[in-house]
């Protein structure tokens, strides 16, 4: 059996593409730049810390999960409902205009 069959490239990279808001991107890029870091270096380090089960990194994930759950269960507020009805009235094909 060839030993090369069991060789793995542990330094192989995986390309990841994400969409974030323009404001988050700008703030993140500035914070990285101020520290002499690339955004890629920061994402890589965070991913490594998650893989190593760093308490701080996992806490961020846990907080995000709670935020996401609460956001999805959020009820519409009065201003949300007013905005929805306003848009429906403005875009209605049955309007007099």
Rounded to a whole number of angstroms, the distance between the first and last alpha carbons of the chain is 80
Task: Using alpha carbons, list the distances in angstroms from residue 70 to 75, 82, 83, 89.
Answer: 10, 22, 21, 30
pLDDT in tens, 64-93: 999 888 876 656 666 767 777 777 777 666
Contact 32, 38 (CB under 8 A): yes
* CA gap 24, 39 in Å, rounded: 12
Residue 53's pLDDT band (cuts 50, 70, 90): very high
Domain residue spans of the chain: 20-52, 56-92
Contact 46, 57 (CB under 8 A): yes
Token pair 């991913």 is found at 47
* Residue 29: predicted pLDDT: 94
pTM: 0.61
pLDDT in tens, 10-39: 778 888 888 888 888 999 999 999 999 999
């Amino acid at each position: 059996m060839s030993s090369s069959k069991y060789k793995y490239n542990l330094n192989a990279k995986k390309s990841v593409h994400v969409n974030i808001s323009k404001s988050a991107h700008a703030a993140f890029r500035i914070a990285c730049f101020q520290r002499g870091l690339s955004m890629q270096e920061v994402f890589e380090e965070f991913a490594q810390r998650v893989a190593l089960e760093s308490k701080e990194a996992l806490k961020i994930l846990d907080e995000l999960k709670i935020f996401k759950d609460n956001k999805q269960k959020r009820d519409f507020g009065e201003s949300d409902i007013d905005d929805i009805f306003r848009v429906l009235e403005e875009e209605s094909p049955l309007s007099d205009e």
